[in-house]
Amino acid sequence: MPDVTGSDRQFPRARVCVLRNARIAACLAEGLAFEPEPDAFALCDLTIDNGRIAAIDRPGAEGAPDLPAFDLDGGIALPRLVDVHTHIDKGHIWPRRPNPDGTFISALNHVAADREAHWTAHDVRTRMEFSLRCAFAHGTGALRTHIDSLGKQAAISWPVFDEVRHNWKGRIALQGVAIYPIDLAVDDEPQFAALVDIVARYCGVLGGVTYLGRPPGEKFDLALDRIFLAAERHGLDLDFHVDESASPDARTLGRIAEFALRRRFPGRIVAGHCCSLALADGAERDATIGKVAEAGIAVVSLPMCNMYLQDRGDRTTPRWRGVAPLHELEAAGAATMVASDNTRDPFYAYGDLDLIEVFREATRILHFDHSQTPWLRAVAATPAAVMGLAGHGTVGPGRPADLVLTRARSLNELLSRPQSDRVVLVAGQPIDTTLPDYRELDALLGGSAV
Ligand SMILES: [Zn+2]
């Protein structure tokens, strides 16, 4: 049984109980009956009734009923977090298919080879389940994954994803996005139309990789036109991989924003990566950021994967961090987020779908610290809103008692340690946070660890 305090006290199993002296982030709190202190965190007592947060009061509020209690002793209680950009269909293939030199092109080629050789329904399902068990144990409550959807893979992976989404209902809310080179919409119209049908049938999101090594031109515009049209016809949201490169030719983000504005696109749009925007000159960068904000495009940065892939050279030291200019986007009014991206595959050798790790690394890589922006929203409330998930990413009366309880009393304490002793509550009860053993994958991956 999890023990939050380090003492021998147990978490109460009562239907109604109180979490005493919990610190909740003011930027993630909703519907409080009192005004939180202007600090980042507010000290509260949370009453849990039948799996939901019934009330949030100041500690020791007068007239509070005498209920079974658990004292967090000032520890931070976060909502379960929301991972808006992952690839759980690729996850954990590293022992079978490592990236030999850590470059983007090797990642593309080696994932393609692995997909051709191994991605049966069983292979994809097993790795998806393993990934979700990691995410769940770390305290993730909702997750969006891109799904490789080129050629025969779409008909294999989407039904598996649908099955997995059903299995995980009530534990992790799942969304799927079709990923493919956007040229497909021009080069192979029948395959693109079939893919759109699959995405619509499985209530997915239409995506695509928009930078294919050349500046946007006529073909790019035609492809984007067809993708927007398909999304409009089927009522789909869009979620692109955008300009994941240092190249000055990687300039598709502004074009996507122009399309969205011109067409008055009614759905939500997410742009992932947007690395090259950080290297654009000031005027060009500001103009693109202005269009992105005006079009209501949400931007997700993937700092761990970007640090791994961007600016990698042979025997050279990286000179830039590879991440999108999130501070500038946020200041312009765009919704900004960070997420896991790949885990243990050729695009990123490491990672475990742990959003506390992602937020800790993002704080260091993107300088979330020493900032007036409440960046915790970037892994919780903002992605929940972008994914259209009511009840996720915030803490408030009436919300499910889905919480991540830590011993950390401040952001400094939260980010200085990995929080391996965190307790995850789902519907008011602690879950087993034991991580799955990599050895479980040995048979699938053809041997032991690399
Ligand atoms: Zn990605």
Is 232 an active-site residue?
A: no
CA 54 – ligand 1 centroid, Å? 37
CA 409 – ligand 1 centroid, Å? 33
In a domain, 185, yes or no: yes
CA 300 – ligand 1 centroid, Å? 10
Global confidence as pTM: 0.96
CA 93 – ligand 1 centroid, Å? 15
Contact 253, 292 (CB under 8 A): yes
In a domain, 96, yes or no: yes
pLDDT of residue 440: 97
Can you tell me the mean pLDDT for 133-142?
98
| Among 386, 416, 444, residue at a domain's last position | 386
| Among 370, 386, 402, residue at a domain's last position | 386
pLDDT digits (tens, 9 = 90+) for 193-214: 999 999 999 999 999 999 989 9
Can you tell me the mean pLDDT for 94-122?
97
In a domain, 449, yes or no: no
The reply to whether 292 and 201 lie within a common domain is yes
pLDDT of residue 9: 55
Main-chain dihedrals φ then ψ at residue 28, nearest 5 degrees: -115, 5
pLDDT of residue 40: 83
Contact 253, 220 (CB under 8 A): no
Q: CB count, 10 Å around CB of 280?
A: 20
Question: Would you say residue 350 has pLDDT above 80?
Answer: yes
The reply to whether 248 and 273 lie within a common domain is yes
The reply to whether 86 and 75 lie within a common domain is no
The reply to whether 123 and 173 lie within a common domain is yes
In a domain, 251, yes or no: yes
CA 325 – ligand 1 centroid, Å? 17
The reply to whether 120 and 264 lie within a common domain is yes
Structural domain span for residue 288:
81-386
Which domain CATH number covers 92? Answer: 3.20.20.140
By percentage, how much of the chain surpasses pLDDT 70? 97
Out of 129, 163, 244, 357, which one is annotated catalytic?
244
The burial of 34, by beta-carbon neighbours within 10 Å (0-12 exposed, 13-18 middle, 19 or more buried), is given as: exposed
pLDDT digits (tens, 9 = 90+) for 120-132: 999 999 999 999 9
The reply to whether 222 and 245 lie within a common domain is yes
pLDDT digits (tens, 9 = 90+) for 211-259: 989 999 999 999 999 999 999 999 999 999 999 999 999 999 999 999 9
The reply to whether 98 and 47 lie within a common domain is no
> What is the SS3 string spanning the chain?
CCCCCCCCCCCCCCCEEEEEEEEEEHHHECCCCCCCCCCCEEEEEEEEECCEEEEEECCCCCCCCCCCEEECCCCEEEECEEEEEECCCCCCCCCCCCCCCCCHHHHHHHHHHHHHHHCCHHHHHHHHHHHHHHHHHHCEEEEEEEEECCCCHHHHHHHHHHHHHHHCCCCCEEEEEEECECCHHHHCHHHHHHHHHHHHHCCCEEEEECCCCCCCCHHHHHHHHHHHHHHHHHCCCEEEEECCCCCCCCCCHHHHHHHHHHHCCCCCEEEEECHHHHHCCHHHHHHHHHHHHHHCCEEEECHHHHHHHCCCECCECCCCCCCCCHHHHHHCCCCEEECCECCCECCECCCCCCHHHHHHHHHHHCCCCCCCCCHHHHHCHHHHHHCCCCCCCCECCCCECCEEECCCCCHHHHHHCCCCCCEEEECCEECCCCCCCHHHHHHHHCCCCC
CA 225 – ligand 1 centroid, Å? 22
pLDDT of residue 334: 98
Which domain CATH number covers 408? Answer: 2.30.40.10
In a domain, 359, yes or no: yes
In a domain, 144, yes or no: yes
CA 442 – ligand 1 centroid, Å? 25
CA 146 – ligand 1 centroid, Å? 7
Cα–Cα distance measured from residue 165 to residue 128, given in angstroms and rounded to the nearest whole number = 10
The reply to whether 127 and 137 lie within a common domain is yes
The reply to whether 167 and 267 lie within a common domain is yes
The reply to whether 20 and 168 lie within a common domain is no
In a domain, 198, yes or no: yes
CA 202 – ligand 1 centroid, Å? 20
pLDDT of residue 3: 47
CA 341 – ligand 1 centroid, Å? 5
CA 383 – ligand 1 centroid, Å? 15
Q: To the nearest whole number, what is the mean pLDDT of the chain?
A: 95
Question: Would you say residue 276 has pLDDT above 60?
Answer: yes
Question: Would you say residue 406 has pLDDT above 70?
Answer: yes
CA 104 – ligand 1 centroid, Å? 12
Length of the chain equals: 450
The reply to whether 146 and 29 lie within a common domain is no
In a domain, 7, yes or no: no
The reply to whether 314 and 418 lie within a common domain is no
Question: Would you say residue 7 has pLDDT above 80?
Answer: no
By percentage, how much of the chain surpasses pLDDT 90? 91
Structural domain count, the chain: 2
